[in-house]
Chains A and B, each alone.
Chain A
Amino acid sequence: MDFETLKKRISEKFPSVEFEEFRNQLSARINKADLLDFMKFLKEDKDLHFDYLTDVTGVDYLKMEREPRFDVVYHLYSFKNNVRLRVKCGVPEDDLDVPSLTPLWGAANWLEREAFEMFGFNFVGHPDLRRLLLPDVFDGFPLRKDYPLRGRGERDVILDLK
């Protein structure tokens, strides 16, 4: 399936989706309210059949001065059509709620937990939204752009050095 058919098929159902092509890769931007429906459509549609969630991550655009500040980025793959699709969803700083994709894909579980601890997204509907890589008492979201490289001294607090 080439990108044009793919775009047409998606636009029929979700006219608000914006597409972007760069280096022969296709990105679709969807607003947050439609995210879960959109993903469900992509997964369950007979022609598209994006049944494989490769990756969930976030990007903080603070230094690029863009609104909204965050993006949640999903990478989908379709076994049927052998095509990848990147789905981006803007998340403003004052409303970090994002619908969780755990009802659709088991893979979303840990990937969303990681995105939560690194960026602070609140995945609504996630069964077990705890920190994964960092200690439970860790405070702050390390991959945000306003978080310093050497940390804010959390390590000392955790190790009880202070």
Chain B
Amino acid sequence: MAQPSYEIKTDQMILNFGPQHPATHGTLRIVLELDGEVVKKAEPHIGYLHSGFEKLGEYKTYNQWITLSDRMNYLSSLANNIGFAEAVEQLIGIEIPERAKYIRTILAELTRISDHMVWVGTHALDIGAFTAFLYAFEAREHLYNLFEHVCGARLTTSYTRIGGLMRDVPEDFEDMVKWFLGYFPNTLKELHGLLTRNRIWMDRTRGVGYLSKEDAINCGVTGPVLRGSGVAYDVRKNFPYLIYDRLDFEIPVCDDGDVYSRYLVRMEELVQSMRIVEQALKDLPDGPVNYFDHKYTLPEKEKVYDTIEGLIHHFKNIMPGHGFNVPEGDIYVATEAPNGELGFYIVSDGTNKAYRLRVRPPSFVNYSCFDKMVRGNLVADVVAVLGSLNIIAGELDR
């Protein structure tokens, strides 16, 4: 007897994911159209943390805006500080001293490690692996202690200034970094042991959230998402800034284009970041950390107290309505933040404030092809894909 075929017709279901959901890491909302458990369409609604940083950039002087750059991607604030300072320095046309370049490079890479640690911890936690979170956050804690030692703050660092740094690093900075470099490979080993060949982890991440090479280029994604789709593009290699052209490091690329390949790319980036820090620390030169012309940077305290020029420069830099003017023109400068290409497009009209300050945030562009990645996947995979993009809502909405 032939089996009668039953076709159960079900309506499409609309599921509201967020704005306050533990897996969204910030405030973002996705409206999912589901057919059973399969995602038919995902429509992200963003803007809950929109704070008008670009508009504020037209009203704050360049040095004042550095504090706002912390608040964009608050997990990698040092990378934002460095990116913005680089952009303004190139617009003015000044070159910072060697020591400042080295310190910036070291801190940018340490920030990459700390950002990736938060990513791997929370990403694994979202998918259900709790243990990795503890190892990752222990490493992050050591790094945040280091950042606190360097600039007095853990998250909102505001460490760079236009033309240099807030201050030189403390005396035991090198020892602390060396200690961390000795400590971190073990954490990495533990994480690899917990996740990389873990059967559950692979089942949850392989083949999920697929993004082809062509789509990745077409959608303009950057950073580990782009490299996870097989495109070897990294601003550090393609447009070297700071001292990256003198260093020996690789750009990890993985061709599969799924969540697992983004995971592998990020894990390998940690190794490369350690290599960079090691090399930069070995050659770390002595000398000043601020640009010699105190029209742009604060003079040393001895000069302020002892010389009239120092005093004038100090007040010119500090007083509202003064400060340095930036030549008229526009510039686009990109740096490789942990999430991808962080670009600043600055239009200057020759005053001490930007005429237009545009931030090209990596999260924003990466997130815009979210629909493409989750379509056809199961609803439980939405969390996995979201975790692999490492969306930070503060940067997404600015």
Contacts and interface: CB of A to CB of B under 8 A. Distances in A.
A106 B54 contact: no
A133 B332 contact: no
Contacts of A52: 217, 220
B17 interface: no
B321 interface: no
B71 to A, nearest CB: 16
B117 interface: no
A85 to B, nearest CB: 10
Interface in B344-393: 345, 347, 349, 355-356, 358, 360, 364-365, 367-369, 372
B141 interface: no
Nearest to B358: A57
Interface stretch (B45-53, B74-82, B131-139, B159-167): B45-53
B238 interface: yes
B47 A132 contact: yes
Contacts of B331: 22-23, 25
A86 B398 CA distance: 23
Interface stretch (A3-11, A28-36, A58-66, A92-100): A58-66
A73 B59 CA distance: 21
Contacts of A132: 46-47
B218 interface: yes
B21 to A, nearest CB: 20
A39 B239 CA distance: 23
A118 B330 CA distance: 19
B397 interface: yes
Interface string B112-132: 000000000000000000000
Contacts of A63: 349, 355
B196 to A, nearest CB: 30
Contacts of B252: none
Q: How large is the interface on A (under 10, 10 to 19, 20 to 34, 35 or more residues)?
A: 35 or more
B55 interface: yes
Nearest to A147: B55
Nearest to B219: A106
B217 A51 contact: yes
Interface in A50-82: 51-55, 57, 59-60, 63-64, 73, 75, 79, 82
Nearest to A60: B356
B238 A82 contact: yes
Given A23-B91, A52-B220, A110-B368, A59 B347 contact: yes
A110 B347 CA distance: 22
B397 to A, nearest CB: 6
A121 B397 CA distance: 20
Contacts of A25: 331-332
B218 A105 contact: yes
Contacts of B332: 25, 55, 75, 84, 86
B218 A54 contact: no
B241 interface: no
A75 B222 CA distance: 14
Contacts of B47: 132-135
A109 B368 contact: yes
Contacts of A84: 239, 332
Contact of B54 (A107, A110, A143): A143
Given A23-B331, A63-B355, A75-B332, A149 B341 contact: no
B217 A79 contact: yes
Contacts of B239: 82, 84
Given A52-B217, A106-B218, A110-B365, A75 B345 contact: yes
A52 B93 CA distance: 27
B329 interface: yes
Given A59-B347, A60-B356, A75-B345, A133 B220 contact: no
25 contacts: A22-B331, A23-B331, A54-B360, A55-B332, A55-B358, A55-B360, A73-B345, A75-B332, A79-B231, A84-B239, A86-B330, A86-B332, A106-B219, A106-B369, A107-B218, A107-B368, A109-B368, A110-B365, A111-B220, A111-B365, A114-B364, A133-B46, A134-B47, A143-B55, A149-B55
Task: Give the 10 A-B CB pairs with smallest separation, nearest first.
Answer: A107-B220, A133-B47, A110-B368, A106-B219, A55-B360, A133-B50, A57-B358, A22-B329, A106-B218, A59-B356
Given A75-B343, A75-B345, 13 more contacts: A23-B331, A55-B345, A59-B355, A63-B349, A86-B330, A86-B332, A132-B47, A133-B46, A133-B50, A133-B397, A134-B47, A143-B55, A149-B55
